[in-house]
Chains A and B, each alone.
Chain A
Amino acid sequence: MAANQAHNAGMWVFPRAEEVSGDMAAKSRAMPRPMVAAITVSAILLVLGIIGFVARAVDDGFTDHAPWGYYAAIFSFLLMVTGAAPLVALVFRFTKSHWRRPLSRVSELFALVGILNLLMFIPLMFVLPAINNPGAGEEAMELRRTIWFEVPIGAPHWWDALGVGFLAVLGLAILWLASVPDLAEARLTSGGMRRKFYSLMAGHWFGTKRQWEMQKAGLAVLGAFYFMFLIWVHFIISTDYGQSLIPGWKDSIFPVLYSLTGLQASLGLILIIMFIMRRWGGYQEYIGISLFWSASKILLGLSMLWVYHVFSFMITYWYGRLEVEQDILKYLFTQSYGGMFAANFFFSFVMPFFLLLWNPVRKTAWGPALAGVAVLIGALLFNLRIFVGAFNAGDVYQHALNGVPPAVWPDIWDIFMVVGGLGAAALIYLTGTRIFPLISVWEIKEGAMYQRMGTFIRGEYLILAKPE
């Protein structure tokens, strides 16, 4: 029995339901020094980003899309990662995975960054070239390649904006609905302005059976909408701002790969946050190794799916031997952005795969978190490669690339905009953690009821209730 207990040490945690609320309230109110430092750094980065943006706008204006490649890349990265994060909580809640409980709120809080995504999208509306070619000649196309076949009014600019905006609203609705029970409880344990805010947010929540049923049904419906909308928004953004700007690139797998990279990176980011919370945040009572162990298997699967989709694309283009496709391969994969693709491949597949292949690594907190760092870097490189490449691929109304354009490397304003975008997202998220408990209290309490240790033959094992 002793050996078995040692084997499972730290694997599962059993928080005491009656202490969770008070502990979370105290943690939300506290302002430790590392948190202050993180908020300060994020704010500084945001200021740099604003400087970079203003300088780029003054230097180049919004008439030509080419100088805005790095801005588009960081927008896409944030949309891809933070947009997919709430889905992680929704999916695992839907599949009734008990280990997901500590990560639900951490994932849903990323919905707050949806507001930033919407704001960052506005300048991109101005730089995106029109579908109709203003100077169509014999060589060029009258309408560039796009998914908006009949060119509905406002396509694609306003339709894309509508998508990004609606996704943000849906995300916020999910965050609110999932945290209403916790906000209602925080109403009782806080005072002053906080109490007023929580009372307003919690509304008339008293935790009646009907309210719980409504909350559950609401989350299911909103979750289904969010899932469909996220996939749709990924599709239109990846196509309108990526694929359709590269002449001759016709790739049906790309939107799938984009969504997959988003899911992979968001799970990686969540694992990094969980690791930080467990290691330095004082949340070790709530976050067991089982969370890392289970999530890392999903991350391993997503990494393998990522490479499978990349391979499916590359082999079809490579084997086809069509000049137009060979040029795309050279541009994005082997020549111009070849080095970036190699790094992208290493971080999105090689590193997470060889780390997470080993069960002893999966059964640690640091292993999955390190893989999370890798996939996050991989996703950033993916976006830089695709979107900088797309914004600098030449005349968008041509049938094919005119040769293989060279890679475009960032200037100082590009770097400012990239770090500024990251800083802005971090600042919003960190501010959110001061308002919402970082752990979903009601889910932890529910989980505490469903699990306990029990004796099976000669060992101690986890017993998991399945009430539904």
Chain B
Amino acid sequence: MQEGTVLPAQQVNRDLLRSILDPPGWFWPVVALLGLIVLVAFGAAGYMINRGLGVTGMNRPVMWAFFLTNFVFWIGISHAGVMLSAILRLSKAEWRRPATRAAEVLTVFSLMTAVLMPLIHTGRPWRTIYWIYTAPFVPYDFARGIWPNVRSPLVWDPSAIFTYLTSSVLFVMVALLPDMAVLRDRTTGIPHRIYGMLAMGWEGNSRQWKFQIIAGILLSALILPVFVSVHSIVSWDFSMTVSVKSWHSTIFAPYFVIGAVHSGVSAVAFVLILLRQVYGWQNYIRHEHIDGLARLLMFVATAWFYFFFMEVIFGFYGREADEIALRSFQFTESPWNIWMMIFVGSTYFLPMAIWLVRPARRNLWIMSIACISVNIGMWLERFLIIIPGLARKQMFTFDWGTFRPSPVEIIIIFATFALVTMLMLLFSRVLPLIPLYDIKEGDILKTEIQIGRRTVPATFRED
């Protein structure tokens, strides 16, 4: 498994800090282009707020559409950070080392982007402040004497997401401390002061390392339940609704979580491939790492497919006429049946066919296709859960309609991808996207042993 050579610590610093200390020429033009796309989306959102939600494609009974699809999608992507970082850290998988930071940062930015979606979806985002405060620092409940329904999943949602965001930021910060200190020691002036402040007096003595490791392990263990709860709660936004027949399913929580991990890990694999190419980090993000991620994805994808199968088959199991009508609408009527085939093919069959072949797992172009394919599929999955379900909502429906996205929605959705990319790039400009200390630690633990006539790569176990 071990590939690549052990590099001197100075070279590791030089290579991995290149994006900060010596940024490439394309950096600012690309950021400017992405910023422009985000600005256009802000314009579109402003137009929508000015004219009302009528400029979107939403119409009775489909009142949840692109924005909430995108919300669930980005929440899903955010699951990559914990999956890779916490679980692989706890299981001491060696190949995790270059992937953890990018995964954690992707978690933070995708969560922030996800939170924007329901805000935009409200149509009057400033009014959401009334959900919390009536006047500055006067909580809504106290001021009005009205208590929000704490049993509502719509109350659980923000609680879970903001807990996850807070703990993810903390997780990233703790892991960043040693690297901040490296940057503090290599910069001057204002950057030196900022990095110094963020490094919080890190000197790298044994006591600090001990605390940093303990904090990392504790946060890894504590963040796991939060990670599971976030997407479970998002899924319960749907499954608690008995009036939409395909939503009221007991499997939704684990099905959403495993789907989130599937899309999130695929996204991280794609981000790593991109980083390797654009920053020339071939010595750090090697084929073995992408291969390791692909193997993990094979397991995740199969588990996802099992949950998908259960979800669908139990839709028919009940022999309830309105649910069977909805399922046949999803599976047999155009255009939903075509989208359904694209969704299943791109989420499972195409990537699995690629991941089963070792040379394909180690071909970065083919792997990129597989990872993008998964994410197209997973976006479609959320779309196909939300729209057909609402379009054939049975109880209390007095109007029939479907959904066609408007240019406003398409622009905003497209721009969220630009926003996350831009934020990732900006992060790479100020902080390393591959943890320096983790790479160095991995190199120190590498060794070799003699078995017969062969010299075999080996590692010291940390415990």
Contact = CB atoms under 8 A, between A and B. Distances in A.
Given A309-B254, A466-B459, A452 B449 contact: yes
A313 B151 CA distance: 16
B319 A143 contact: yes
B71 interface: no
A251 B316 contact: no
B319 A312 contact: no
Interface centre among A145, A231, A252, A316, by most chain B C-beta atoms within 10 angstroms, is A252
Contacts, number: 109
A31 interface: no
A461 B460 contact: yes
B227 to A, nearest CB: 12
Interface stretch (A41-49, A102-110, A275-283, A317-325): A317-325
A145 B319 contact: yes
B457 A466 contact: yes
Contacts of B25: none
A219 B254 CA distance: 30
B133 interface: no
Interface string B296-335: 0000000000110011011011110000000000000000
B126 to A, nearest CB: 31
A147 B309 CA distance: 12
A409 interface: no
B250 A252 contact: yes
B254 A149 contact: no
Contacts of A468: 1
Interface in A450-468: 450, 452, 454, 456, 461-468
Nearest to A96: B1
Contacts of A321: 242
Contacts of B284: none
A467 B451 contact: yes
A253 B310 CA distance: 8
A463 B448 CA distance: 9
B257 to A, nearest CB: 9
Interface in B436-463: 445, 447, 449, 451, 454, 456-462
A449 interface: yes
Contact of A312 (B2, B254, B456): B254
A128 to B, nearest CB: 17
Contact of B456 (A254, A322, A456, A467): A467
Nearest to A298: B91
Contacts of B306: 231, 256
A147 B313 contact: yes
Given A256-B254, A316-B236, A320-B242, A146 B317 contact: yes
Given A463-B459, A465-B456, A466-B456, A252 B314 contact: yes
B63 interface: no
Interface string B20-62: 0000000000000000000000000000000000000000000
B228 interface: yes
B205 to A, nearest CB: 15
A316 B249 contact: yes
B128 to A, nearest CB: 24
Nearest to A144: B319
B172 interface: no
The prevalent SS among residues of A at the interface is: mixed
B305 to A, nearest CB: 11
B235 to A, nearest CB: 8
Interface residues of B, number: 41
A250 interface: yes
Interface string B124-156: 000000000000000000000000000100000
Contacts of B74: none
Chain A, interface size category, equals 35 or more
B232 interface: yes
A158 interface: no
Given A315-B236, A456-B460, A466 B2 contact: yes
Interface string B399-436: 00000000000000000000000000000000000000
Contacts of A463: 447, 449, 458-461
A145 B458 contact: no
Contacts of A372: none
A464 B250 contact: no
A308 interface: yes
Nearest to A7: B463
A247 to B, nearest CB: 11
A141 interface: yes
Nearest to A228: B302
B254 A466 contact: no
A296 B426 CA distance: 42
- Which of A146, A149, A235, A250 has the most B CB atoms < 10 Å from its CB? A250
A308 B250 contact: no
Given A250-B317, A317-B250, A320-B240, A466 B458 contact: yes
A124 B459 CA distance: 52
A420 interface: no
B253 interface: yes
A253 B251 contact: yes
B250 A253 contact: yes
Residue in B91, B319, B447, B457 with the greatest tally of chain A CB atoms within 10 Å: B319
Contacts of B307: 256
Contact of B250 (A235, A313, A322, A449): A313
A235 B306 CA distance: 11
A10 B114 CA distance: 49
B240 A316 contact: yes
Contacts of B2: 466
B239 interface: yes
Contacts of A466: 1-2, 456-459
Question: Which of A147, A316, A464 has the most B CB atoms < 10 Å from its CB?
Answer: A316
Nearest 9 A/B pairs, CB to CB: A252-B314, A252-B251, A312-B253, A253-B250, A465-B458, A253-B251, A462-B461, A465-B456, A250-B318
26 contacts: A141-B319, A145-B317, A147-B313, A231-B306, A235-B310, A251-B250, A251-B314, A252-B249, A252-B251, A252-B311, A252-B317, A253-B251, A254-B250, A256-B310, A312-B251, A312-B253, A315-B236, A316-B240, A316-B249, A319-B151, A463-B447, A463-B449, A464-B461, A465-B449, A465-B451, A465-B456
Given A463-B461, A466-B2, 19 more contacts: A147-B317, A231-B306, A250-B317, A250-B318, A251-B250, A252-B310, A252-B311, A312-B232, A312-B251, A320-B240, A320-B248, A454-B449, A456-B460, A461-B460, A464-B459, A465-B449, A465-B457, A466-B457, A467-B451
